[in-house]
Structure 1
Amino acid sequence: MNISGTLNFFKVLLQPSLAIPTYSVPTFDHVPSILANLPEIHALVIDKDNCFAIDGTDSVYPKYADTWKLLQTKYPNRLLIVSNSTGTRNDGRAEILESNTGAAVLRHTTKKPGCFPDILQYFSKHGINNPSSIAVIGDRVLTDVVMGNLNNAPSIWVSEGVELSNGIFQVFERWLVNYLQKKNK
């Protein structure tokens, strides 16, 4: 169970704007077009499952290989994979993912959206201390987007992911963002 996610859901109920992404793209290969207009971004936090990889796999989805290489070139040693499925346990998958992607995987005991202090600690070793210079990229509103918004880090919501999910939480998140964006126009 994601205790951090559950507790932060109540924050969203009190402050719904926490669920509104700063930017939205349908798929991961659209992320560079957003980042091209954000010179103040110096580091990336990227979710794994259904963002750049198929759920349960430990490698970049082939369609996104060129995008991944581009981001690695633009953000050397400043691209951090933060996943609630990999990196939260010492199961060896983090090492496999690092080997397959060439990017660091955050080891954390608190799941998203509550692990941002660990993210800041990681990036401080690379000279990045300002949350607003770290973009949070992911397909989940109630973890990735909320984590960015809670910490003044811009969020890029990958709305369709690798595969458009019709799971109850994903359908709810898409409805919620659509509703909140229309309400705030």
Structure 2
Amino acid sequence: MAGSPNSNLRGFNHAVHTLLKQPSQFLPHLTIPTFTYLPEDLGPHLIRKQHQPPTPPEKPIQQRIPTIRALVLDKDNTLCPAKTTTFPPKILTKLSQLRESPTSPFNKTTNPHGILIVSNRAGSHPTFDHEVHELESQLAHLSIPVFRLPAGAEKKPFCGDEVVQWFREREVIQSANEIAVVGDRLGTDVLMAGMMGSWSVWCKEGVFEDGEEGKGERNILEKMEVWIEKYLRERKGCVAPVPRGWEERGI
């Protein structure tokens, strides 16, 4: 794990460059208030009609649905309040449902390596090793690990290839478009999903719903991201692009 524990200046610069050159990459495929709203059957919720290629009216085709076999979950302000390892009860309940429900594609028995926490704190630098231990201790019964950033790799959004390789090595996926990245930040989580060739889910309110006890004020970057997303979607008519190559590969 290289670099200082807190610096992600290159990530910020990349976000600004992407916003100027490819603004649609900032948009998520699905927006939910918090992680607790994540659908178990995620695939159909990621696709909208405008994502489908145009076809002649005399040759209608069935809408193609992504198959999601792996979840990448952010930690700070998605699963836990920022800079903590405290899971709100509703978040733990949702994680338990995803790992223990017999109908869940992320069931720990049928898909033991289907969920991975990828954080720019825990697992990204030795400074935060205590967070890794605390998270994995609390989630041991659900078999949810924390990703350790390999030596020489960079933080989100630049570690997507290493994350895809983690799932490939465990035979969870064949293609990156079988992964959904879930997080509260457009400039890291959503951008990383696009760079990976995966789908993105934005937890717009963070770890707590609007008005819920414990919810704090958004910081300046979070406020800017909310404004940017609304502007691109409502004023500019932008749509999140599907993962590269997904149309050609088939289901």
Do they fold alike, i.e. is TM over 0.5? yes
What aligned pairs does 1:29-40 form with structure 2 within 5 A after superposition? 29-32=36-39, 35=42, 37=44, 40=67
1:180 corresponds to which residue? 232
CA distance in 1 between counterparts of 2:138 and 2:190 reads 26
- Structure 2 counterpart of 1:62: 89
SS state at 2:161 partner: helix
The residue number in structure 1 matching 2:159 is: 115
The TM-score with structure 1 as length reference comes to 0.92
SS, match of residue 44 in structure 2: coil
Using the aligned pairs only, state the percent identity: 35
Aligned to 1:105: 146
With normalisation by structure 2, the TM-score equals 0.69
Aligned alpha-carbon RMSD (Å): 1.8
Q: Which 4+ runs in 1 deviate beyond 3 A?
A: 36-39
Query: For the Cα contact (< 8 Å) 1:47–1:81, is it kept in 2?
Result: yes
1:149 pairs with one of 181, 194, 203:
194
- Could you say which structure has the higher helix fraction? 1
Rg (Cα) greater in structure: 2
| CA distances 1:155-174 after superposition (whole Å, capped 9, x unpaired) | 00000012354210000000
TM alignment of 1:1-185, pairs within 5 A: 1-9=7-15, 10-32=17-39, 35=42, 37=44, 40-73=67-100, 74=104, 75=106, 76=108, 77-90=113-126, 91-102=129-140, 103-108=144-149, 109-127=153-171, 128-162=173-207, 163=215, 165-182=217-234, 183-184=236-237
- 1:32 and 1:71 in contact (8 A); partners too: no
Give the aligned residue type for 1:96: E
Matched position secondary structure for 1:181: helix
**Unaligned stretches of 5+ in structure 1?**
none
Is the Cα–Cα contact under 8 Å of residues 60 and 68 in structure 1 kept in the other structure?
no
Q: Give 1:59 deviation, angstroms.
A: 3.8
Q: In structure 2, the residue corresponding to 1:93 is in which secondary structure? A: helix
